[in-house]
Structure 1
Amino acid sequence: MATLSEQISALARKIESTKDGIETEEATKNAFIMPFISNVLGYDVFDPAEVVPEFTADVALKRGEKVDYAIFHDGSIQLLIECKPIGSPLDLRHAGQLFRYFSVTSARIAILTNGQEYQVFTDSELPNRMDEKPFLVFDLLDLDRSLLPEIQKLSKDAFDLDSVINAAQELKYVGGIRRLIADEVKEPSDDWVRYFVSRIYDGKATQRVLDQFRPLVAKALGQYVGAQVNDRLKAALGDDANAENDASVAARQQTKIETEPLVEADTPSPDIVTTDEEIDGFNIVRAIAVAEVPPERVSFRDGKAYFAVLLDDNNRKPVIRLHLNGQNVKFVSTFERGKDAPTRHDIESVVDIYRVSDQIRQTIRSHLT
């Protein structure tokens, strides 16, 4: 039987490959949301004792209003789900049904979704009144794997309402802080830059000074995050990974890659030297890739023209190409569905590879379909 992670990965691949052809809310429900309820959460969508579509309850002044799905567990309503079309922004102004139904049913969990993004709410602030902010937010195409245990708690076999409610307050604030940090790492705000400037710069923090320090703060934060990810990845992979890297470096130094697509040379080339910077770049790519595949499936081949990262050591499954040996210019090339040629992205350091994380993960998912 497939695990929760495997079911989510399979659904994510389906969303990625078919979402452009889905235009309505009803199609979104059938293609993405019902499979999530059935395959990920484990409820029988064809059993009215478990899942009731278009659920109606008597709501004052709103009689006959429906919520898209009501999910029953142990004979009572536990989850309410309101759906929007794929690609639509999730705005609570358009989810009045959830607020109203939350107060007149036994449900303690409400979900707002467009089939790709899920926002999960409870009543942590006032009893029987749905919070205005979700305690759990996740995107199936960019899933934080640390949230899998929280999603698991909503499933039929592992449903644990008390655990969900108890963890909701902490999850809401920790998740909010993490999203703020992510935004600041991508594009530091004036307040964030001013915090660092005030501690390392003796002059006045004018707007000109803030603008000068902004890219430096972004670079420092990116380097720090990259170092933390690499350290965790190395620790997780252990000595086997180090041995694999050493063997790979020795082997790839004998490989010549010069043309498109990747072609292995017939004879070894002693001119190819795999640098520490290329290995750092490879580790960053692999750290990004572990959201989709086990790290051992990601390998590299070094050549004169570029350093290639591959899935399953298959030159027909390129993940990204690193061009790091130029004296003045460094860039990476990503592969996007529907484009014949790779897309170039100029970078200043290997840490900037994190800026193309979405492209890397999407490319890997395309190789898995």
Structure 2
Amino acid sequence: MDLIDKLNELATRIHRQKDTVLTEEAAKTAFVLPFLQALGYDVFNPSEVIPELTADHGVKKGEKVDYAIRQGDRIVILIECKSIGTTLSTKCAGQLFRYFAVTEAKFGVLTDGIRYIFFSDLENENKMDDRPFFEFNLFQFNENQVDELKKFTKSSFDLDTIISTASNLKYHKALLAEIKTEFESPSDDLIRMLTSRVYQGRITQQVRDQFADLCYKAMRDYVREQVNDRLKSALETESIAEAPIVEKAGKSASDNEIETTPEEWEAYRIIQAIGAELVETEKITIRDAKSYCAILFEDNNRRPICRLYFGKTKISAGIFLSEGEENCPLEKVSTLYQHKDMIKAAIQQYL
């Protein structure tokens, strides 16, 4: 089983159990240890996954970090666990900061069993950075994040490789946060920079105030145009009537008596168009079967978006949310647009 499949399975189980796992110890046993196991570590070997590691230092004595992972003869990762729902700020990582300085570990992980926040010493050696370089959320991850997480698996762990990419990850995340902030509320520096490129006069306070609103609207319009272009791209496909028949399990559609109908193709394009607001349309795929037509995320049957049940007399769609499959009767294919929010939620859970 691939790592992504193990993570999907674990995420599904956590969704079911999270309301009953109320303490830190329960989260460690039910969620954190299975996560480490998914990464290939032997959680039953205390010389590899060390529980309650003690490493006294000058500030406090007798403190323990929840887990330490050893590779060969070296401790490489320290893990501090909190109960589900804890705000995982740097204030919660006090023990990690102290232990990091007195062990040879290069990575500290703060987790509540769902979110895993990775720190290192990219700025000052042997001093854990205040800002993490990577975060993995079991309830919201994509393939790129899984690829980054794979570097921490037992079989792939290579200190030099991770360190060489950690800096880019850290600052990429920081830049995304800054860009988000600028889109939501453009800073004075950005407003003045953009204004100076299009306005020839002196930038007075009055001019600055005028362009503050213009900059905000222009950035919003740019994003809207990009979304509309993606929607247009999704809809500008070859004629539905000329669409090829989907093959299944290595056989032609005729061999399996499966034929994707024009109505199913139309529904597929509508779901692609809705999903284009969130992801590239190629990530939303179609896989036909005898009793239904499946719309999947990244062609993974463990990541269903919905199933189309198109009979001769009535049609419906089963939309897959975290709670299960929600059946939605359809008056006609275009009625799918009325379930836009549910379809987007079904896609969002895989991002």
Q: TM-score, normalised by structure 1?
A: 0.67
Alignment of 1:39-58 (within 5 A): 39=38, 41-58=39-56
1:200, CA displacement in angstroms? 5.5
Match of 1:214 among 206, 213, 216: 216
Match of 1:295 among 285, 291, 301: 285
1:181, CA displacement in angstroms? 3.1
Q: Could you tell which deviates more after superposition, 88-97 or 201-210?
A: 201-210
Match of 1:281 among 257, 264, 273: 273
Alignment of 1:8-27 (within 5 A): 8-27=7-26
CA RMSD for the aligned pairs?
A: 4.4
Structure 1 residue identity aligned to 2:5: E
Q: Is the 8 A contact 1:80 1:98 kept in 2?
A: yes
| Structure 2, gaps ≥5 residues long | 246-258, 288-293, 297-303, 310-315, 329-336
Q: Distance in 1 between matches of 2:25 and 2:211?
A: 52
What per-residue deviation string (whole Å, max 9, x for no partner) do you get for residues 51-95 of structure 1? 111111122231110101011111221100011111211111121
Is 2:301 aligned against 1:311? Answer: no
- Describe the shift of the 1:153–1:317 C-alpha distance in structure 2 as closer, same or farther (beyond 3 A): same
Identity %: 33
- Describe the shift of the 1:205–1:244 C-alpha distance in structure 2 as closer, same or farther (beyond 3 A): farther
Q: Is the 8 A contact 1:289 1:360 kept in 2?
A: no
Alignment partner, residue 250 of structure 2: none
Structure 1 residue identity aligned to 2:243: A
Alignment partner, residue 67 of structure 2: 69
Is 2:318 aligned against 1:359? Answer: no
Structure 2 residue identity aligned to 1:20: D
| Structure 1, gaps ≥5 residues long | 235-240, 256-272, 301-308, 320-334, 343-349
Structure 1 residue identity aligned to 2:212: L
Q: Distance in 2 between matches of 1:283 and 1:161?
A: 38
1:15, CA displacement in angstroms? 2.6
Q: Distance in 1 between matches of 2:195 and 2:213?
A: 11
Alignment partner, residue 84 of structure 1: 82
Q: Distance in 1 between matches of 2:241 and 2:84?
A: 41
How many residues align? The count is 303
Q: TM-score, normalised by structure 2?
A: 0.70
1:341, CA displacement in angstroms? 10
Q: Could you tell which deviates more after superposition, 310-319 or 79-88?
A: 310-319
Secondary structure of 1:20's match?
A: coil
1:207, CA displacement in angstroms? 4.0
Alignment partner, residue 116 of structure 1: 114
1:318, CA displacement in angstroms? 2.0
1:3, CA displacement in angstroms? 0.9
What per-residue deviation string (whole Å, max 9, x for no partner) do you get for residues 78-130 of structure 1? 10001111121111112111111111111111111112222111111222111
1:295, CA displacement in angstroms? 2.6
Q: Distance in 2 between matches of 1:116 and 1:188?
A: 30
What per-residue deviation string (whole Å, max 9, x for no partner) do you get for residues 125-153 of structure 1? 22211111111122222214212232111
Q: Is the 8 A contact 1:81 1:112 kept in 2?
A: yes
Alignment partner, residue 140 of structure 2: 142
